[in-house]
Structure 1
Amino acid sequence: MNLVDLPSDIQNMIEKRKRAFSYYHEELIGEHRFLSEDQTIFQDAVIALSLGKNILLKGPTGSGKTRLAESLSSFFGQPMHSVNCSVDTDMEALLGFKTITQNDGASRIDFIQGPVIKAMEKGHFLYIDEINMAKPETLPLLNSILDYRRMLTNPLTTDVIQAKETFGVIAAINEGYVGTVPMNEALKNRFIVIDIPYVQGEILKDVIKQESKLHDEKMIEQFVRLSSDLLVQVKSGIIPEEAASIRALIDTCDLAVYMDPLRAVRRGISDKLEEEREKAAVVNIASTLFK
């Protein structure tokens, strides 16, 4: 089912969101196109957001989770505020912080809004990247904005913020990576989960043409084959998932425009790995393709 085949009530919800931001032109909105063999991924994300649901994008690094979030922002014409989580992500990184300012010689304390409060008050999208990298004690702050209440009592100011109707949350997660922690079930249950698989085949060719500087058809074919062969090694446990990252592949394709492709593979993929045997496995595969 194409987007044009969506039920009329969903299409009305989409149009209502687009009209809400038809006047708004901000650098947060970009022209991005998410590509996937599974056409239902984008459609299901659109439906969920139109219904006021939060969506959680699950997939390996470089699979296009951020690109999907950007494409959704562009589709709705709705600005998006981002949080990149890490072990250092705390309440201030999410909500904002207090600072002392000078006004006509007098000092006062102002509150600088963080991405969560900005998105709530403006009715924009909030994108939380690597949500399972944040400290577990930080994330419960988000519970009340992710359920039917759509509100937050700011512990830094005691203000109560009620999100605008168009406010929506998109989060992304890489499971099993170093530094990540299992998501609390109460938090995960507040999301609609969408799996983002690796891009392969003809779709990957289109991604390379769209995202990289490489235009040599034969070499693009070789890099698509490289990606496929690396995935086989990942599934066999010989090399880690990051070796098959589409993001790393795009970087490598860019380098291959200006250097020998085998050297580009070393710089863009194999040298990022820790184990010598893993590096050797990647180089051996690449050597059979780029003679």
Structure 2
Amino acid sequence: MNLNQLPEDVKQLIDQRRNAFSHDAEHLIGGQEFLAEDENIVLDAVIALSLGKNILLKGPTGSGKTKLAESLSRIFHQPMHSVNCSIDTDTEAFLGFKTINQREGISKIEFIPGPVIQAMEKGHLLYIDEINMAKPETLPILNSILDYRRRLTNPLTAEVVQAKKTFGVIAAINEGYIGSVPLNEALKNRFIVIDIPYVQGDILKKVILQESQLKNEQLIHQFVSLSADLLVQVKNGIIPEEAASVRALIDTCDLAVFMDPLRAVKRGISDKLEEERERAAVQNIASTLFK
């Protein structure tokens, strides 16, 4: 991303954060740049975070939401703590837990801070993946850290935690998936929403070259065509969204370096699907491209 496209005051805010976390550079995760046809996706996310806004990344599985979060972490030189939500995610997964430790022969109850508390106290970024998979009754604990207060009364210790100024929150959702629930409006209103679409065409070629071991230009062109055809079938309701996942496509490209492309598609994409008709639809598309 070209930071020169940002307003000067935003660039100053980025520099301030970079200077604050220069000593934590070795703890940054992710080494690959997030790529998108619409460069405003990254620019808008950077501006929102610079202004202290919470960001909600909305898009299908494998569209690069986590990759964007990692890119933002590297842009700001700011470490990131993560929560991967599921139907079992509870308060402890966010805030931490109590445990008994032995010190000098004496048993003592200690609190082990979770990702939310750590990010707040250190002024780091917090990434909440698939936030709409968490139990609705668990999420209200986040309300006070997502508004102007940036404060939390820890129900496990009764301590008040005030976030440092550089603390920021990025969340991601896959709408319409089994196990997910619509976000409460009060919670959603605390976020700036950024849509992350599937990448296609020349951008997808760059993603494959950047993130997979496949370098054969003809095969890459065929896999880009496969992705486009799969997306058409997704839109027509023939196959589920996960069949068009860029993550699955990268895995398939890696396999295609060492095996027949059709077999790679079977292992990396179609065999993940539940219904035989869906698997057959993917293999039929692939067979027309990889003869």
TM-score scaled by structure 1? 0.98
Structure 2 unaligned regions, length at least 5: none
**2:165 aligned partner:** 165
**2:281 aligned partner:** 281
**1:138 aligned partner:** 138
Q: Any residues of structure 2 matched to 1:42-61 within 5 Å, and which?
A: 42-61=42-61
Give the paired residue count.
291
2:289 and 2:128 map into 1 onto residues whose CA distance is 38
2:167 partner letter: F
1:5 and 1:199 map into 2 onto residues whose CA distance is 22
**2:79 aligned partner:** 79
Q: Is the 8 A contact 1:52 1:168 kept in 2?
A: yes
Task: Give 1:2 shift.
Answer: 5.0
1:247 partner letter: R
**2:111 aligned partner:** 111
Task: Give 1:137 shift.
Answer: 0.3
Structure 1 unaligned regions, length at least 5: none
1:27 and 1:270 map into 2 onto residues whose CA distance is 36
CA deviation map 1:188-227 (0-9, x unaligned): 0000000000000000000001111111110000000000
Q: Is the 8 A contact 1:82 1:129 kept in 2?
A: yes
Q: Is the 8 A contact 1:29 1:78 kept in 2?
A: no
Q: Does 1:219 align with 2:219?
A: yes
**2:250 aligned partner:** 250
1:207 and 1:143 map into 2 onto residues whose CA distance is 36
1:122 and 1:26 map into 2 onto residues whose CA distance is 15
Q: Does 1:65 align with 2:57?
A: no
1:25 and 1:126 map into 2 onto residues whose CA distance is 16
Q: Does 1:260 align with 2:269?
A: no
Q: Is the 8 A contact 1:243 1:273 kept in 2?
A: yes
2:222 and 2:103 map into 1 onto residues whose CA distance is 62
1:52 and 1:20 map into 2 onto residues whose CA distance is 15
Q: Is the 8 A contact 1:28 1:81 kept in 2?
A: no
2:28 and 2:7 map into 1 onto residues whose CA distance is 29
**2:150 aligned partner:** 150
1:219 partner letter: L
**2:202 aligned partner:** 202
Identity percentage over the alignment? 78
CA deviation map 1:172-192 (0-9, x unaligned): 000000110000000000000
2:249 and 2:112 map into 1 onto residues whose CA distance is 38
2:268 partner letter: G
Distance change >3 Å, CA 30–CA 272, structure 1 → 2: closer
Q: Is the 8 A contact 2:32 2:210 kept in 1?
A: no
TM-score scaled by structure 2? 0.98
Flag as ranges the 4+ runs of structure 1 deviating above 4 A: none
Q: Any residues of structure 2 matched to 1:81-96 within 5 Å, and which?
A: 81-96=81-96
